Amino acid sequence: MNWTIILQAGIASGTVLLFATIGEVFAERSGILNLGLEGMMLIGAMSAFSVAVNYDNPWLGLLVAMITAGLLSLVHGYVCIHLQADQVVSGLSLTFLGTGLSLVFGEGLSKAGAVSLLPQLTIPLLSSIPFLGQVLFTNQSIMVYVGYLLAPAAWYYINRTRPGMHLRAVGEYPAAADTMGVNVYRTRYLYTFVGGVLAGLSGATISLAISPGWFSHMTTSGQGWIAVGLTIFAQWDPLRAAAGSYAFGALRRLILDLQAPTTLLFWNNPFYYNPYWGFFLKMIPYAFTIVVLVIGSREALRKRLGAPAALGLPYVRGERGV
């Protein structure tokens, strides 16, 4: 097994989770829990691939993916913000809706031939750093580099800028934010939309860069839900979200590679000789999500950290809230 290649591919596959998780961090920081990530990612992956197939332009695909997933998130936004519906159920129905829409419109896409994908880049100077240059800056998709920039930028935006402070205020104590002149509804719509756009970006990253193609609902295979879990593990912090995403990406990649060699740590590799043992390997990312959640929740209990105080609660002016 070549660790450089595993980590290199792990970073790439973690980028998918990174976009979705940071998008969810934005939405949840404003108080809107969006469980529809899986549906929005699927819509993004489908529309990106569909546009790339029909117009032979991956960049246009990327743009359309961000718009469609963003629009879908606004449905959730309207139902939760103006209609004050239950955010959990609305998010679940968004998953159904997004999955259904992408399966209907994606019919036949799985048979599409070769498509021009988003380009891969090698960064001239940085790639010559030993090991790290090979892992981080060599032959990575351009989306991976976008991910490197997005995580610190999101952290800076949320924690160090004025609109970021408004965002946090709306998620923690909307009544106070309202009194201070922050438009709670508009803020929540904005960041729900941002969450949707990033989920669309995440979907497009799958179908146009990391594992190109359209494989109906298997395109995302639960990564949207893993991202929801990572958001909690990350304690709503973009940098922790990035770390978690890359770790998960590496894990997913490692699992694929464990089945290839004939020997594993000097023993016969059971996953090679009994291929169906591989199903236990496939469980690992899902089981690990649960473990990560337990760790995150215990830590939150211990340090009295927690979700944004108004997460999941509709805001109605004049009513007593949190």
Partner 1 sequence: MTNAERSHSSLPFKIQIEPRLDIPRWLPAAVSVGAVILGLIFGAFALRLAGEAHPFRAYASIAKVLFGSWGGVSDVLVQATPLILVGLACSVAFSMKLWNIGAEGQFFIGAFAASAIVLTPVLPAEAPGWIFIPVMMVAGLIGGALWGFLPGYLKAKFNVNEIITTLMMNYIAIEWNNFFIFGVWSEGGFQMSPRFPKTAWLPRLADYAREVPEFGGLTLHLGLIFGPIAAVIVWFILYRSKWGYEIRLAGDNPKAARYAGVNIARNTVLVMMLSGALAGLAGMAQIGGVVRRLQGAISPGYGFTGIIIAWLSKLNPLVVIVVSVFFGALLLAGREMGRSDISMLIQGIILFALIASEFLLRNRVRIVRV
> What character string, x for contact with partner 1 (CB under 8 A) and - otherwise, covers 16-55?
-------------------x---x----------------
Tell which one of 93, 116, 259, 269 touches partner 1 (CB under 8 A): 93
Tell which one of 32, 65, 69, 94 touches partner 1 (CB under 8 A): 94
Per-residue tokens: 224:
């949207």
Name the residue nearer to partner 1 (CB basis): 59 or 215: 215
Using CB under 8 A as the binding criterion, the count of chain residues that bind partner 1 stands at 53
Name the residue nearer to partner 1 (CB basis): 68 or 99: 99
- Position 298: which residue type? R
Task: Quote the least distance from Cβ 243 to partner 1, whole Å.
Answer: 19
Name the residue nearer to partner 1 (CB basis): 136 or 227: 227
Cα separations in angstroms, 172 against 81, 165, 227, 247, 283: 16, 10, 22, 29, 36
Distance CA 279, CA 261 (A): 17
Q: Positive or negative CA dihedral for 50, 249, 259, 287?
A: negative
Residue 74 is a binding residue for partner 1 (CB under 8 A):
no
Residue 293 is a binding residue for partner 1 (CB under 8 A):
yes
Distance CA 234, CA 296 (A): 7
Distance CA 206, CA 259 (A): 23
> What character string, x for contact with partner 1 (CB under 8 A) and - otherwise, covers 294-313?
x--xx-xx------------
Task: Quote the least distance from Cβ 134 to partner 1, whole Å.
Answer: 32
Tell which one of 1, 3, 55, 88 touches partner 1 (CB under 8 A): 88
CB 46 within 8 A of CB 102: yes
Residue 176 is a binding residue for partner 1 (CB under 8 A):
no
H or E stretch covering 290: helix 278-303
Report the SS3 class of residue 118.
coil
Residue 254 is a binding residue for partner 1 (CB under 8 A):
no
CB 87 within 8 A of CB 32: yes
Detail the DSSP E strand segments found in 166-254.
none
Residue 110 is a binding residue for partner 1 (CB under 8 A):
no
Residue 228 is a binding residue for partner 1 (CB under 8 A):
yes
CB 251 within 8 A of CB 284: yes
Q: What is the CA radius of gyration of the chain?
A: 20
Binding site for partner 1 (CB under 8 A): 35, 39, 75, 78-79, 83-86, 88-90, 92-101, 103-105, 107, 222, 225-226, 228-229, 232, 274, 276-277, 279-280, 282-283, 286-287, 289-290, 293-294, 297-298, 300-301, 316-319
